[in-house]
Structure 1
Amino acid sequence: MVCVDPDTVTRPAPAHGSKRQALIDATITLVARGGLRNFTYRAVAREAGVAHGLVAHHFGSRDALIEEALRYTLDSSAEVLTDVTEGSSLDDFVSHLAELVSREPDLQAFQYELILESRRNPELAPLVENLYAAYRDATADALERVGITRDDALTHLVFAALDGLVFQQLTMGNSARTEASLAKLRQFLASAR
Protein backbone atom coordinates (compact mmCIF):
# COMPACT_ATOMS: atom_id res chain seq x y z
CA MET A 1 0.00 0.00 0.00
CA VAL A 2 1.36 3.40 -0.98
CA CYS A 3 0.65 6.28 1.39
CA VAL A 4 0.50 9.76 -0.05
CA ASP A 5 1.13 12.75 2.17
CA PRO A 6 -1.55 15.31 1.19
CA ASP A 7 0.86 18.12 2.12
CA THR A 8 3.22 17.09 -0.66
CA VAL A 9 0.59 16.77 -3.38
CA THR A 10 0.36 19.77 -5.69
CA ARG A 11 -2.30 20.73 -8.14
CA PRO A 12 -1.46 21.15 -11.81
CA ALA A 13 -0.05 24.61 -12.46
CA PRO A 14 -2.62 27.14 -13.67
CA ALA A 15 -2.27 28.70 -17.10
CA HIS A 16 -0.05 31.76 -17.41
CA GLY A 17 -1.91 34.88 -16.36
CA SER A 18 -4.40 33.06 -14.14
CA LYS A 19 -2.08 32.50 -11.17
CA ARG A 20 -3.46 35.46 -9.21
CA GLN A 21 -7.02 34.14 -9.58
CA ALA A 22 -5.83 30.63 -8.73
CA LEU A 23 -4.42 32.00 -5.47
CA ILE A 24 -7.72 33.75 -4.66
CA ASP A 25 -9.68 30.58 -5.42
CA ALA A 26 -7.27 28.53 -3.31
CA THR A 27 -7.67 31.00 -0.43
CA ILE A 28 -11.45 30.67 -0.55
CA THR A 29 -11.23 26.89 -0.61
CA LEU A 30 -8.68 26.61 2.20
CA VAL A 31 -10.37 29.09 4.53
CA ALA A 32 -13.81 27.61 3.84
CA ARG A 33 -12.64 24.10 4.62
CA GLY A 34 -10.10 24.69 7.39
CA GLY A 35 -10.53 28.20 8.74
CA LEU A 36 -7.66 30.59 9.20
CA ARG A 37 -5.72 28.47 11.70
CA ASN A 38 -3.78 26.51 9.08
CA PHE A 39 -3.84 29.15 6.38
CA THR A 40 -0.24 29.65 5.18
CA TYR A 41 1.53 30.79 2.03
CA ARG A 42 2.65 27.22 1.40
CA ALA A 43 -0.85 25.79 1.79
CA VAL A 44 -2.31 28.40 -0.59
CA ALA A 45 0.45 27.85 -3.13
CA ARG A 46 0.02 24.07 -2.95
CA GLU A 47 -3.76 24.36 -3.42
CA ALA A 48 -3.28 26.79 -6.34
CA GLY A 49 -0.52 24.74 -7.95
CA VAL A 50 2.06 27.55 -7.88
CA ALA A 51 5.34 28.33 -6.11
CA HIS A 52 4.81 29.74 -2.62
CA GLY A 53 6.81 32.87 -3.47
CA LEU A 54 4.02 33.95 -5.81
CA VAL A 55 1.69 34.59 -2.89
CA ALA A 56 3.92 37.38 -1.58
CA HIS A 57 4.66 38.55 -5.11
CA HIS A 58 0.99 39.03 -6.01
CA PHE A 59 -0.42 40.14 -2.65
CA GLY A 60 2.42 41.22 -0.38
CA SER A 61 0.92 39.76 2.78
CA ARG A 62 -1.41 37.10 4.08
CA ASP A 63 -3.92 39.76 5.18
CA ALA A 64 -3.88 41.41 1.75
CA LEU A 65 -4.63 38.05 0.13
CA ILE A 66 -7.50 37.41 2.54
CA GLU A 67 -8.90 40.90 1.93
CA GLU A 68 -8.67 40.42 -1.83
CA ALA A 69 -10.45 37.06 -1.59
CA LEU A 70 -13.22 38.68 0.46
CA ARG A 71 -13.55 41.46 -2.14
CA TYR A 72 -13.76 38.77 -4.82
CA THR A 73 -16.59 37.03 -2.94
CA LEU A 74 -18.34 40.39 -2.60
CA ASP A 75 -18.15 40.85 -6.37
CA SER A 76 -19.27 37.26 -6.89
CA SER A 77 -22.15 37.88 -4.51
CA ALA A 78 -23.69 40.29 -7.00
CA GLU A 79 -24.17 37.34 -9.37
CA VAL A 80 -25.38 35.13 -6.52
CA LEU A 81 -27.89 37.75 -5.42
CA THR A 82 -29.27 38.01 -8.94
CA ASP A 83 -29.77 34.24 -9.03
CA VAL A 84 -31.56 34.22 -5.69
CA THR A 85 -33.73 37.32 -6.04
CA GLU A 86 -34.45 37.65 -9.74
CA GLY A 87 -38.08 36.49 -9.62
CA SER A 88 -40.92 38.97 -9.65
CA SER A 89 -43.39 37.01 -7.52
CA LEU A 90 -43.37 35.73 -3.98
CA ASP A 91 -43.34 32.20 -5.35
CA ASP A 92 -40.04 33.01 -7.05
CA PHE A 93 -38.56 34.90 -4.08
CA VAL A 94 -35.39 33.06 -3.02
CA SER A 95 -36.55 29.94 -4.83
CA HIS A 96 -32.96 28.95 -5.66
CA LEU A 97 -31.46 29.56 -2.22
CA ALA A 98 -31.02 25.92 -1.20
CA GLU A 99 -29.57 25.06 -4.59
CA LEU A 100 -27.20 28.00 -4.39
CA VAL A 101 -25.80 26.92 -1.04
CA SER A 102 -25.31 23.40 -2.39
CA ARG A 103 -23.66 24.73 -5.55
CA GLU A 104 -21.28 27.23 -3.87
CA PRO A 105 -20.65 25.95 -0.33
CA ASP A 106 -17.04 27.14 -0.18
CA LEU A 107 -18.01 30.69 -1.17
CA GLN A 108 -20.59 30.78 1.60
CA ALA A 109 -18.34 29.13 4.20
CA PHE A 110 -15.48 31.51 3.35
CA GLN A 111 -17.74 34.49 3.93
CA TYR A 112 -18.87 33.18 7.32
CA GLU A 113 -15.28 32.47 8.36
CA LEU A 114 -14.28 36.03 7.48
CA ILE A 115 -17.35 37.52 9.14
CA LEU A 116 -16.23 35.87 12.37
CA GLU A 117 -12.60 36.86 11.76
CA SER A 118 -13.65 40.51 11.41
CA ARG A 119 -14.39 40.50 15.15
CA ARG A 120 -10.69 39.82 15.77
CA ASN A 121 -9.32 41.80 12.83
CA PRO A 122 -10.99 45.22 12.60
CA GLU A 123 -9.41 45.87 9.20
CA LEU A 124 -11.83 43.33 7.72
CA ALA A 125 -14.89 44.98 9.28
CA PRO A 126 -15.53 47.45 6.41
CA LEU A 127 -15.33 44.65 3.85
CA VAL A 128 -17.75 42.53 5.86
CA GLU A 129 -20.13 45.48 6.23
CA ASN A 130 -20.01 46.00 2.44
CA LEU A 131 -20.82 42.33 1.96
CA TYR A 132 -23.83 42.52 4.27
CA ALA A 133 -24.96 45.87 2.82
CA ALA A 134 -24.97 44.32 -0.67
CA TYR A 135 -27.09 41.42 0.58
CA ARG A 136 -29.51 43.75 2.39
CA ASP A 137 -29.84 46.00 -0.68
CA ALA A 138 -30.58 43.03 -2.91
CA THR A 139 -33.15 41.79 -0.39
CA ALA A 140 -34.85 45.23 -0.32
CA ASP A 141 -34.93 45.33 -4.14
CA ALA A 142 -36.39 41.85 -4.32
CA LEU A 143 -39.06 42.68 -1.75
CA GLU A 144 -40.05 45.78 -3.74
CA ARG A 145 -40.35 43.68 -6.91
CA VAL A 146 -42.83 41.40 -5.16
CA GLY A 147 -44.93 44.36 -4.02
CA ILE A 148 -43.64 44.97 -0.48
CA THR A 149 -42.99 48.62 0.33
CA ARG A 150 -39.40 49.36 1.28
CA ASP A 151 -39.00 49.08 5.04
CA ASP A 152 -35.50 48.85 6.54
CA ALA A 153 -36.57 46.87 9.60
CA LEU A 154 -38.50 44.32 7.52
CA THR A 155 -35.61 44.07 5.05
CA HIS A 156 -33.19 43.41 7.90
CA LEU A 157 -35.54 40.79 9.38
CA VAL A 158 -35.95 38.98 6.05
CA PHE A 159 -32.23 39.13 5.31
CA ALA A 160 -31.41 37.84 8.81
CA ALA A 161 -33.80 34.94 8.26
CA LEU A 162 -32.21 34.15 4.88
CA ASP A 163 -28.70 34.48 6.31
CA GLY A 164 -29.60 32.09 9.11
CA LEU A 165 -31.11 29.59 6.68
CA VAL A 166 -27.99 29.70 4.51
CA PHE A 167 -25.79 29.16 7.57
CA GLN A 168 -27.91 26.27 8.82
CA GLN A 169 -28.04 24.56 5.45
CA LEU A 170 -24.31 25.03 5.02
CA THR A 171 -23.58 23.48 8.40
CA MET A 172 -26.34 20.86 8.57
CA GLY A 173 -27.03 20.21 4.89
CA ASN A 174 -30.79 19.92 5.18
CA SER A 175 -32.19 21.51 2.01
CA ALA A 176 -35.70 20.13 2.70
CA ARG A 177 -35.82 22.10 5.96
CA THR A 178 -34.55 25.19 4.12
CA GLU A 179 -37.27 24.85 1.49
CA ALA A 180 -39.99 24.36 4.12
CA SER A 181 -38.77 27.44 6.01
CA LEU A 182 -38.70 29.48 2.82
CA ALA A 183 -42.32 28.49 2.14
CA LYS A 184 -43.26 29.82 5.60
CA LEU A 185 -41.28 33.01 4.96
CA ARG A 186 -43.18 33.54 1.70
CA GLN A 187 -46.48 33.11 3.58
CA PHE A 188 -45.39 35.68 6.14
CA LEU A 189 -44.37 38.11 3.41
CA ALA A 190 -47.67 37.62 1.57
CA SER A 191 -49.46 38.83 4.72
CA ALA A 192 -47.10 41.82 4.95
CA ARG A 193 -48.20 43.27 1.61
Structure 2
Amino acid sequence: MPERPTAREAILDAFVEVVVEQGERAATLQAVAEHAGVSKGGLLYHFGSREALVEGLAERLDALGAEDAEALRGEADPVARFIRGSIVRETAIDRAFVAAFRLIQSEQHPSLREALQRVDDGYRGVIADAIGDDLAPVVALMSDGIYLRSGLDPAWAPSDDDVERIVAAVDDIVRRARD
Protein backbone atom coordinates (compact mmCIF):
# COMPACT_ATOMS: atom_id res chain seq x y z
CA MET A 1 0.00 0.00 0.00
CA PRO A 2 1.48 3.38 -0.99
CA GLU A 3 2.56 5.64 1.80
CA ARG A 4 0.33 8.66 2.40
CA PRO A 5 2.09 11.94 1.76
CA THR A 6 2.75 14.16 4.73
CA ALA A 7 0.64 17.31 5.07
CA ARG A 8 3.61 19.34 3.85
CA GLU A 9 4.00 17.12 0.76
CA ALA A 10 0.25 17.24 0.08
CA ILE A 11 0.31 21.05 0.25
CA LEU A 12 3.30 21.19 -2.09
CA ASP A 13 1.53 18.74 -4.44
CA ALA A 14 -1.50 21.05 -4.40
CA PHE A 15 0.69 24.08 -5.15
CA VAL A 16 2.24 22.29 -8.13
CA GLU A 17 -1.17 21.16 -9.35
CA VAL A 18 -2.71 24.64 -9.15
CA VAL A 19 0.26 26.24 -10.91
CA VAL A 20 0.29 23.61 -13.67
CA GLU A 21 -3.46 23.47 -14.22
CA GLN A 22 -4.50 27.06 -13.57
CA GLY A 23 -1.34 29.17 -13.78
CA GLU A 24 0.80 30.99 -11.29
CA ARG A 25 -1.68 33.77 -10.60
CA ALA A 26 -4.31 31.27 -9.50
CA ALA A 27 -1.88 29.76 -6.98
CA THR A 28 -2.92 31.93 -4.05
CA LEU A 29 -2.41 30.63 -0.55
CA GLN A 30 -6.18 30.21 -0.19
CA ALA A 31 -6.51 28.30 -3.48
CA VAL A 32 -3.61 26.01 -2.58
CA ALA A 33 -5.05 25.35 0.89
CA GLU A 34 -8.45 24.51 -0.60
CA HIS A 35 -6.90 22.22 -3.20
CA ALA A 36 -4.86 20.48 -0.49
CA GLY A 37 -7.90 20.12 1.75
CA VAL A 38 -6.34 22.06 4.62
CA SER A 39 -7.14 25.35 6.27
CA LYS A 40 -5.15 28.41 5.30
CA GLY A 41 -3.69 28.31 8.82
CA GLY A 42 -2.63 24.70 8.22
CA LEU A 43 -0.90 25.74 5.04
CA LEU A 44 0.82 28.63 6.79
CA TYR A 45 2.04 26.28 9.53
CA HIS A 46 4.02 24.33 6.90
CA PHE A 47 4.73 27.14 4.42
CA GLY A 48 4.67 30.62 5.93
CA SER A 49 4.31 32.38 2.59
CA ARG A 50 3.93 31.86 -1.12
CA GLU A 51 7.68 32.27 -1.45
CA ALA A 52 8.09 29.41 1.04
CA LEU A 53 6.00 27.25 -1.32
CA VAL A 54 8.34 28.24 -4.16
CA GLU A 55 11.33 27.30 -1.97
CA GLY A 56 9.64 23.96 -1.28
CA LEU A 57 9.28 23.40 -5.01
CA ALA A 58 12.97 24.23 -5.52
CA GLU A 59 13.88 21.67 -2.83
CA ARG A 60 11.63 19.09 -4.50
CA LEU A 61 13.30 19.74 -7.87
CA ASP A 62 16.72 19.29 -6.30
CA ALA A 63 15.72 15.99 -4.71
CA LEU A 64 13.93 14.59 -7.76
CA GLY A 65 16.70 15.74 -10.11
CA ALA A 66 19.45 14.21 -7.98
CA GLU A 67 17.50 10.95 -7.72
CA ASP A 68 16.89 10.84 -11.47
CA ALA A 69 20.52 11.66 -12.34
CA GLU A 70 21.71 8.93 -9.98
CA ALA A 71 19.36 6.41 -11.61
CA LEU A 72 20.58 7.56 -15.02
CA ARG A 73 24.19 7.08 -13.91
CA GLY A 74 23.39 3.46 -13.06
CA GLU A 75 22.11 2.66 -16.56
CA ALA A 76 24.15 0.63 -19.02
CA ASP A 77 23.43 3.26 -21.70
CA PRO A 78 22.61 6.50 -19.89
CA VAL A 79 22.46 8.51 -23.11
CA ALA A 80 19.79 6.30 -24.68
CA ARG A 81 17.82 6.25 -21.43
CA PHE A 82 18.08 10.04 -21.16
CA ILE A 83 16.79 10.56 -24.70
CA ARG A 84 13.99 8.02 -24.25
CA GLY A 85 13.06 9.69 -20.96
CA SER A 86 12.71 13.10 -22.60
CA ILE A 87 9.04 12.66 -23.47
CA VAL A 88 6.74 14.24 -20.89
CA ARG A 89 5.11 11.41 -18.95
CA GLU A 90 3.31 13.29 -16.16
CA THR A 91 5.76 12.07 -13.54
CA ALA A 92 6.48 13.97 -10.34
CA ILE A 93 9.60 15.52 -11.86
CA ASP A 94 7.70 16.50 -15.03
CA ARG A 95 5.02 18.23 -12.95
CA ALA A 96 7.70 20.00 -10.90
CA PHE A 97 9.46 21.16 -14.10
CA VAL A 98 6.25 22.52 -15.61
CA ALA A 99 5.34 24.36 -12.40
CA ALA A 100 8.84 25.81 -12.12
CA PHE A 101 8.87 26.95 -15.74
CA ARG A 102 5.48 28.60 -15.32
CA LEU A 103 6.58 30.41 -12.20
CA ILE A 104 9.85 31.72 -13.62
CA GLN A 105 8.17 32.97 -16.78
CA SER A 106 6.25 35.63 -14.95
CA GLU A 107 8.13 36.13 -11.71
CA GLN A 108 11.70 36.21 -10.51
CA HIS A 109 12.45 33.17 -8.39
CA PRO A 110 16.22 32.75 -8.13
CA SER A 111 15.87 29.58 -6.07
CA LEU A 112 13.84 27.90 -8.83
CA ARG A 113 16.24 29.04 -11.54
CA GLU A 114 19.15 27.71 -9.49
CA ALA A 115 17.38 24.40 -8.82
CA LEU A 116 16.61 23.96 -12.53
CA GLN A 117 20.27 24.71 -13.30
CA ARG A 118 21.44 22.13 -10.75
CA VAL A 119 19.14 19.49 -12.27
CA ASP A 120 20.43 20.34 -15.75
CA ASP A 121 24.03 20.23 -14.51
CA GLY A 122 23.40 16.82 -12.96
CA TYR A 123 22.02 15.39 -16.19
CA ARG A 124 24.77 16.97 -18.28
CA GLY A 125 27.40 15.56 -15.92
CA VAL A 126 26.10 12.04 -16.38
CA ILE A 127 25.91 12.49 -20.15
CA ALA A 128 29.39 14.05 -20.30
CA ASP A 129 30.82 11.13 -18.32
CA ALA A 130 29.26 8.75 -20.85
CA ILE A 131 30.10 10.49 -24.15
CA GLY A 132 32.38 13.43 -23.39
CA ASP A 133 32.06 17.15 -22.76
CA ASP A 134 31.82 18.09 -26.44
CA LEU A 135 28.74 16.00 -27.24
CA ALA A 136 26.88 16.34 -23.94
CA PRO A 137 25.36 19.75 -24.86
CA VAL A 138 24.18 18.33 -28.20
CA VAL A 139 22.33 15.51 -26.46
CA ALA A 140 20.93 17.90 -23.85
CA LEU A 141 19.55 20.19 -26.54
CA MET A 142 18.01 17.25 -28.43
CA SER A 143 16.41 16.14 -25.21
CA ASP A 144 15.11 19.67 -24.57
CA GLY A 145 13.51 19.70 -28.01
CA ILE A 146 11.82 16.35 -27.46
CA TYR A 147 10.63 17.47 -24.03
CA LEU A 148 9.29 20.77 -25.33
CA ARG A 149 7.41 19.23 -28.25
CA SER A 150 5.87 16.49 -26.13
CA GLY A 151 4.97 18.95 -23.38
CA LEU A 152 3.28 21.44 -25.68
CA ASP A 153 0.91 18.95 -27.22
CA PRO A 154 0.98 15.15 -27.12
CA ALA A 155 0.24 15.18 -30.86
CA TRP A 156 3.61 16.89 -31.38
CA ALA A 157 5.51 14.32 -29.36
CA PRO A 158 7.94 12.24 -31.37
CA SER A 159 6.79 8.68 -31.96
CA ASP A 160 8.65 5.80 -30.34
CA ASP A 161 10.18 5.10 -33.76
CA ASP A 162 11.37 8.71 -34.03
CA VAL A 163 12.96 8.48 -30.59
CA GLU A 164 14.71 5.24 -31.51
CA ARG A 165 16.04 6.89 -34.69
CA ILE A 166 17.37 9.75 -32.56
CA VAL A 167 19.04 7.27 -30.19
CA ALA A 168 20.62 5.48 -33.17
CA ALA A 169 21.80 8.78 -34.66
CA VAL A 170 23.40 9.82 -31.36
CA ASP A 171 25.08 6.41 -31.09
CA ASP A 172 26.46 6.93 -34.60
CA ILE A 173 27.69 10.45 -33.79
CA VAL A 174 29.39 9.22 -30.61
CA ARG A 175 30.99 6.29 -32.43
CA ARG A 176 32.34 8.61 -35.17
CA ALA A 177 33.66 11.09 -32.58
CA ARG A 178 35.54 8.31 -30.82
CA ASP A 179 37.11 6.93 -34.03
Q: Is the 8 A contact 2:55 2:112 kept in 1?
A: yes
Q: Distance in 1 between matches of 2:68 and 2:78?
A: 18
Q: 57, 70, 89: which one pairs with 2:58?
A: 70
**Structure 1: any 5+ residue segments left out of the alignment?**
1-14
Q: Is the 8 A contact 2:57 2:112 kept in 1?
A: no
**Alpha-carbon displacement from aligned partner over 1:137-191 (angstroms, at most 9, x marks no partner):** 23223x2xxxx3x32x432232122122212211122240444434433332332
Task: Find the counterpart in structure 1 of residue 69 from structure 2.
Answer: 81
Residues 103, 50 of structure 1: CA spacing in aligned structure 2 closer, same or farther, 3 A cutoff? same
Q: Look at both structures and tell me which one has the larger radius of gyration over its CA atoms.
A: 1
Task: Find the counterpart in structure 2 of residue 192 from structure 1.
Answer: 177
Q: Is the 8 A contact 2:86 2:144 kept in 1?
A: no
Identical positions, percent: 26
Q: Which amino acid aligns with 1:163?
A: D
Task: Find the counterpart in structure 2 of residue 156 from structure 1.
Answer: 137
Residues 115, 89 of structure 1: CA spacing in aligned structure 2 closer, same or farther, 3 A cutoff? same
Q: 155, 170, 181: which one pairs with 2:151?
A: 170
Q: Is the 8 A contact 1:42 1:52 kept in 2?
A: yes
**TM-score by structure 1 length?**
0.71
**Alpha-carbon displacement from aligned partner over 1:87-119 (angstroms, at most 9, x marks no partner):** 3237844364156x214142332243245356x
- Are positions 1:107 and 2:96 aligned together? yes
Q: Is the 8 A contact 1:81 1:135 kept in 2?
A: yes
- Identify, as 1 or 2, the structure richer in helix: 2
- Are positions 1:25 and 2:13 aligned together? yes
Larger relative CO (CA 8 A, sep 6+): 1 or 2? 2
Q: Distance in 2 between matches of 1:178 and 1:45?
A: 40
Residues 77, 110 of structure 1: CA spacing in aligned structure 2 closer, same or farther, 3 A cutoff? same
RMSD: 2.8
Q: Distance in 1 between matches of 2:175 and 2:56?
A: 39
**TM-score by structure 2 length?**
0.76
Q: Distance in 2 between matches of 1:132 and 1:117?
A: 21
- Are positions 1:61 and 2:46 aligned together? no
Residues 40, 85 of structure 1: CA spacing in aligned structure 2 closer, same or farther, 3 A cutoff? same
